[in-house]
Amino acid sequence: APAAAEEVTIPIIVKDTTSFYWQIVLAGARAAGKDLGVNVPELGAQSEADINGQITILENAVAGKPAAVVIAPTEFKALGKPIDEAAKSVPIIGIDSAADSKAFTSFLTTDNVEGGRVAARGLAEAVKAKTGKAAGDVALITALPGVGSLDQRAKGFKEELAKYPELKLVADKVADGQATTGLNITTDLLTANPNLVGVFASNLIMAQGAGQAIAENKVADKVALIGFDNDDKLVGFLKDGTIAALVVQDPYRMGYDGVKTALAASKKEKVEAFVDTGANLITKANMDEAKNSALLNPKVK
């Protein structure tokens, strides 16, 4: 057992350190570390699709003999075994997404399938608001293939969309993770489908590209765009009406509570086994409500 005098270390491993969403998670974790006097190394792979990279980081983190590990598994099945293996030496707290392991001590996640459903409902409403009825062609843009949470969102979105028979999914596009590609795809979709009334861009970067395309083509009054997650840019789009609504999770809390729960688990205290941190639909109308405002303006620095 680690000596009491030594600083307790609880690494947090996110999927990909290069996106703002994960920076909010890390900010929450950092704040918790400060509040609780815990050393919180901030780790993560270079891309959400880099499964081997995340396994490697998990292995390295466990080799450092931490008190516990907080991890956002990048892929459901692939991280199962490594987490089982790691849990033999330290308590593991899962955040954001699930993994195929029963070894988690606790779990704080968004239900991404539900997030997709929320987006579909939001899209239907926004289309109705713009055109008078929930009918017409819609499109889905996914940032990268092979990313578990994005696939789950697509799944939930399509399931829920089926409940609106007059909304027709005419394009289901997968990009390469670049905002410019999202922009080009959206532009081309607008050209190819003159009757397009809605687009769901299922993550931050795609929403940035798609939002830019809506603005560039000046079709905000005809086409409803739903994004996922948030940063300044998207909040700006939300304000000026380019984006109809954002599905927003609570990453700050995942980070903060993740570390807090991990510390408790390392002390063998009893912790909640499962927490759904929720996916909220935020529109221009409700963006100033206190809770939403807090979600849109996380304390990153």
Partner 1 sequence: MSTVDAASAKASQARRNYSFLFALTLLGLLVLLWAVLAIATPNFMSDKNISNLLRQGSMIAILAVGQTFVIITAGIDLSVGAVVGFTTVIIALLINAGVPVWLSILITLLVGLGIGLFHGFGITKMGLPPFIITLATLTSLRGIGLLITNGSTISIDNDDFTAFATKDFLGIPSLFWMVILVAVPAYIFLNHTRWGRYLFAVGSNPESARLSGVRVNGVIYLAYALSSVFAAFVGVLLATRIGIGNATQAEGWELQAIASTVIGGSSLFGAVGSVHGPLIGAFILATINNGANLLNVNSFWQRIITGGLIIVIVYFDQLRRRGR
Among 85-93, 145-153, 167-175, 263-271, which window interacts with ligand RIP (CB under 6 A)? 145-153
- Selected from 9, 47, 142, 149, the binder of ligand RIP by CB under 6 A is 149
Q: Which of residues 87-106 bind ligand RIP (CB under 6 A)?
A: 96-97
Q: Which does 229 bind (CB under 5 to 8 A by kind): ligand RIP, partner 1, none?
A: ligand RIP
Tokens of 113: 């399938």
Rounded Cα–Cα distance for residues 197 and 64 (Å): 52
Q: Which does 97 bind (CB under 5 to 8 A by kind): partner 1, ligand RIP, none?
A: ligand RIP
Residue 184 touches partner 1, criterion: CB under 8 A: yes
Please report the beta strands in 17-121, taking only residues with DSSP state E, as ranges in sequence order.
38-39, 42-45, 69-71, 92-96, 104-109
Q: Which of residues 125-144 bind ligand RIP (CB under 6 A)?
A: none
Rounded Cα–Cα distance for residues 285 and 298 (Å): 19
Q: Report how far apart, in Å, the C-alpha atoms of 159 and of each of 67, 119, 154 are.
A: 41, 11, 9
Interface mask (CB under 8 A) for partner 1, residues 26-55, using x and -? ---------------xxxx-xx-xxxx--x
Among 15-23, 115-123, 272-280, 289-297, which window interacts with partner 1 (CB under 8 A)? 15-23
CA atoms within 13 A on the CB side of 148: 18
Residue 301 touches partner 1, criterion: CB under 8 A: yes
Rounded Cα–Cα distance for residues 77 and 150 (Å): 15
Q: Nearest to residue 215, comparing CAs of 194, 246, 236, 192? A: 236
Judged by CB, which is closer to ligand RIP: 23, or 212? 23
Site residues, ligand RIP (CB under 6 A):
15, 21, 48, 96-97, 110, 147, 149-150, 203, 228-229, 249
